[in-house]
Structure formats: structure tokens, C-alpha cells
Chain A
Amino acid sequence: MIEQGPDSARVALVAGGALLLGGDHVRIDVTVGAGCTLELEDIGGTVAYDADGERSTWTVNIVVETGGTLLWHALPMVIAHGANVDRLTRITLDAGGRVCLRESVVLGRTGEIAGRVSQRTDITMSGTPVFVEELVVGEGRDVPGLIGANRVLDSVLAVGERMPHHGSLVRVLDFEFPGSLARFLGAAAHQSPIDEVWTRWRQDLSRSNGALAHHGAE
């Protein structure tokens, strides 16, 4: 716990060991109560190590109750050669809930052919699907139209509000349901403008949220 207010908290996530090894099953459950705001900060990124193809799973279950807000700036997950990871991010929101989530996957360390990662995102609000996506990438696949030969998938996802596009920093997809996705595909993480998008979207959300505005002022 970094800090706590009457209806808000900032919490740091620290990994307990050298994550992620073959056969590991990591599950993170986050529930944000009605009207509350939770900000999560990753302290270190994650490396999915060479597991000789043995499968591991990384499951994140997020529930945001009515009027709650979750802000989560997750650090990159690096998929090393020989890793075989199933990532699942499931977000369930009640009416008026909001989520802003930074996620990034790096396929292989420099000069390395990555292992395999299957990434599913499943978001519903009040029972209506908002964004459902499955991507299977890595192992040197280069499929034009999917992600091509890009190594870095860096994104900010906002649900509950449609976010401004902020010029031409990066292409923003607007969901049918209020929510937006800014995604960068590229060769190297340092080329990604997603940090900037995260900062702006976090501020945009803060303006309409008292508890966040307080944190922002510190």
C-alpha cells in the first residue's frame, strides 16, 4: 500500500520470485468497490523464461463495481525463447465503472526469437461485451495484418469513457461501447508513444474523478 484515502488507494504490486516459469499459474484478482478508486503500480516487469515449451498461465480477473475506477500501469511482460504463455485478462464492470489499463508484451529479448504467447482480453460492462480479442503471437511468426514482424505490442485500454485521440501520437480504436484502445506495434519499446498516451488518458480520467485529482496534485 502506497497511500490510502477514504475511497481511494494506491497499491504497488511486487513479484514474489523470478516469474514466470514453465508450469507456473499466476492469478491476480482485483475488485474495486462501488465508487472507489484503485491505482495499481507494477514495481518490476515480468519475464516469461525459457520453459522448453512447457505451458504457463497468467490470468488477471478485474471486477469494477458501480462507479468504481481502476488505473493500472502494468510493466512489460517479456516472452523469452522457449516460453509458452497463455495470458487472460478478464474485466467485468458494472454501470459507471471505469478502467484504464496499460499493457505491454515484448516478444523476445534483443536478438532472440520469442516463445509463444496467446493473449485473450475479455471485457464486459453490465453484461454487454465491450472488447473481446485473442492474439497468438511469437515463435518468429510474421503474419502481415496480424502484427507482422513487430516485437513490441504496447497498449492503453480505457473502458467506460471514450478517450480523446490526442493528435497523431498513435492510432486510437474507439469501441462501439464507450471505451478506446491505443496500441503501438513496433520494433523497440523505446519507440512507443504509449507512455505519453497513458499520462494523458490518466489525466483525462482524473479530471472527472475527485479522488484522482487529489493524487494528481501531489
Chain B
Amino acid sequence: MPTIVTRIPASATLVMMLADARLPVGGHVHSAGLEPALAAGMPANRVFDYLLGRAHSVSLVEAGTAVVARHVALPATADSVAAGLAAVESAWAARTPSRALREVSRSLGRGYLRLGTRLWPGHPGIDACSAAPSPLSRPVVLGAIAAAANLDAESLVRLVIYDDAQTVAAALLKLAPIDPAIPAGWVLRACGEVDHLVAAIAALTSPDAIPASGAPQTEEWAESHSLTTQRLFRA
């Protein structure tokens, strides 16, 4: 049995753990769309532009979703939390027109929820995720975990942006290896480029206000990738 978390660790500790690739949530099978992009013909020398483009678009949708999910999972009774999370999930789904990307995110969500139910049992946000009629997306479950673990909203936004960029960088080393220090630098640069947006996203409380930046090529590539068997990463 894992230890149930009763004393609250610092936000910095939680962020380190949640951003750690060794966290047992199944993140290692994902490339943040990089493998589908390269398979569709994106040149390997465009990976930094790709990573930066995500930081300005889909990462903000993901971060905004997680922040609003955290907000609705914070106080209150399990009933109101369930309705609130369902509304956040709908807002996220409407911003994720690719069925392949929705499925991938929900399978990641299941991994996060397994961890959440073991570490923070009985928290209304975690309970509401467990009781949801169908699996919730990764950002919604992550938001509930942030509420349960007392992780602040700005750290949550930075976590989501960093995690996405680092996922691309780590996948690149398997798909088109280069000097590993180079993509590590890209991750820091991308996170720096969007840091001025963090406070505004962290302040979001309404599902309607979640950023909606689309990524039409990414969506197209993800759909193609979901049909192929020749792949290293699921998405």
C-alpha cells in the first residue's frame, strides 16, 4: 500500500514529482505529437518551431483546462465538483476536435487517476474523477490532483507547458537523435517565451474562458498516426 499523503509537501516538490518522467502514469508512450509530425514529413530541423508552436497553442488549452479543473475541484461537495468537472471536460472536448487526441488524453488521464486515487483517497476532486461516467482527460484529472495536493495554479500552468515541451524533446532523442543538450535548451527557451502568459491562465475560473488555440496540422497528423501500426509512440 502506498502511503496516503497527509502532511502537505511544498508546491515545488509536487511539481518536480509530477514533471518527472519516472512518474508512473504512462507518459513514456507519448511524444506530444512529434512522431506523427515527423512521419507526416515535418523536417527534423523544424522541431524547435514545432515545440514553440505547441507552447503557444495546445499547451495553453491543456494548461487552461487543468487550471479550471483545479478551481472547481478545490472546495465544496462531491456533487458540485462532479458537475463542475463535467463542464470542464466538455469545454476541453470542444477544443479537441480530433477523436484520436481525445482518446490519447483520456488514456493518460486514467494513469494519473490511478496515482491520484492511491495518494489522495477521499478528496472530492479525485472521487469525482473516479465516479465520472466515462474516463476524463489528462488535464482535468491533473487539475483534480493539483486541488488534492494543494498545488498552486501558476505552478500547474508551468508544469503543463514544461511537460509538453520536455515530452517533445525527449521523444526527439529517440526519433531523430541529436546532441541531447540542444533540445534541453529548447525546452527552457519555449517555457521562457510563454512565461508572461502564465499568470493570466492561472487566474482562469470558467470553462468558457479556457484558451481555444487549434492546431489543424497536429490534429490531422494525430488522426493518421492512430491508424498506423508502425510507431514507437502512441501519439
Contact = CB atoms under 8 A, between A and B. Distances in A.
Interface in B51-94: 52-54, 56-58, 90-91, 93-94
Interface residues of B, number: 37
Interface stretch (A20-28, A128-136, A207-215): A128-136
B233 interface: no
B54 A133 contact: no
A145 B213 contact: no
A185 B216 contact: yes
A135 B213 contact: yes
Nearest to A147: B216
A174 B99 contact: yes
A144 B99 contact: no
A146 B57 contact: yes
Interface stretch (A33-41, A72-80, A175-183, A197-205): A175-183
Interface stretch (B12-20, B144-152, B219-227): B219-227
Of the candidates B96, B214, B221, the one having the most CB atoms from chain A within 10 angstroms of its own CB is B214
Interface residues of A, number: 28
B25 interface: no
B214 A134 contact: yes
B219 A177 contact: no
Contact of A133 (B42, B52, B93, B214): B214
Q: Chain B interface secondary structure, helix, strand, loop or mixed?
A: helix
Interface in B126-173: none
Contacts of A148: 42, 217
Contacts of B33: 145
B49 A144 contact: yes
Contact of B215 (A145, A175, A177): A145
B97 interface: yes
Given A129-B93, A174-B99, A176-B90, 12 more contacts: A131-B97, A134-B213, A135-B213, A135-B214, A145-B33, A145-B215, A145-B221, A146-B214, A146-B218, A175-B93, A175-B97, A183-B220
Interface of A: 120, 123, 128-136, 142-148, 153, 171, 173-177, 181, 183, 185
Closest 7 CB pairs of A and B: A129-B94, A143-B53, A133-B214, A176-B93, A173-B97, A132-B212, A145-B218
